[in-house]
Amino acid sequence: MSERTDATVSTPADTKLPGLIWGVKGSFVRYVSGTGGDVRVAEGAASVDGLLFFPLLDQSDFELATARGTIRFGGNVHFSGHFGALDLTLAEPWLESDERGAVISADTGVAGRVPLVALGGAETLLEGEHIVWAEVETRMLPDAAPLFNGVYGTGERFDALTLRVLAR
């Protein structure tokens, strides 16, 4: 089962669930739509207020005190266009953080898991039982370039994202 992201599949309140909220890259989403293609979410990912929502799956390999480790999110998004010539899946995004910084990677199927973007600094907000890192800037990493046909250069700005995890 997959759903087009222009369908209303969730209420705005769902953005308060733990997960990753991200538009990936607005100009790319608009471009894909312009090619007559579409953007579909599946496997628990959803479209919320025009953004993609990937639910929190597992944060047991992440240490909140040091902000190091891996947080796994579920679901996938599939971009298709140009009558199938453009065919990109980003599945099960992970936040991977170590002393060099934090990145978001995703399973692309054919190309395996690829580090997509590096994250900028973020303020840690405590919201009830959740920790939220909001509007975190992202910049494309070199390994992601082929996924986008080599159109974007390393460091290209992608959309800012928001991470919501459990504060325990």
CA nearest 92: which of 78, 76, 71, 110?
76
Give min distance, CB of 85 to ligand HEM, in A.
Answer: 4
In the bound state with ligand HEM, the residue whose beta carbon lies nearer, of 133 and 148, is: 148
Radius of gyration in angstroms for the set of CA atoms belonging to the chain, rounded to a whole number? 15
Among 27, 66, 124, 154, binds ligand HEM (CB under 6 A): 27
In the bound state with ligand HEM, the residue whose beta carbon lies nearer, of 125 and 151, is: 151
CA 24 → CA 53, 126, 161, distances in Å? 11, 25, 8
Mark 144-163 with x for binding to ligand HEM (rule: CB under 6 A) and - for no binding.
----xx-x------------
CA gap 23, 81 in Å, rounded? 17
Helix ranges (DSSP H) in the chain: 26-34
In the bound state with ligand HEM, the residue whose beta carbon lies nearer, of 27 and 124, is: 27
In the bound state with ligand HEM, the residue whose beta carbon lies nearer, of 133 and 152, is: 152
For the chain, the residue count is 168
The residues in 28-57 that bind ligand HEM, with binding defined as CB under 6 A, are 28, 31
CA nearest 51: which of 26, 28, 32?
26
In the bound state with ligand HEM, the residue whose beta carbon lies nearer, of 72 and 78, is: 78
Mark 56-95 with x for binding to ligand HEM (rule: CB under 6 A) and - for no binding.
--------------------------x--xx-x-------
What end-to-end distance do the CA atoms of the chain give, in Å? 33
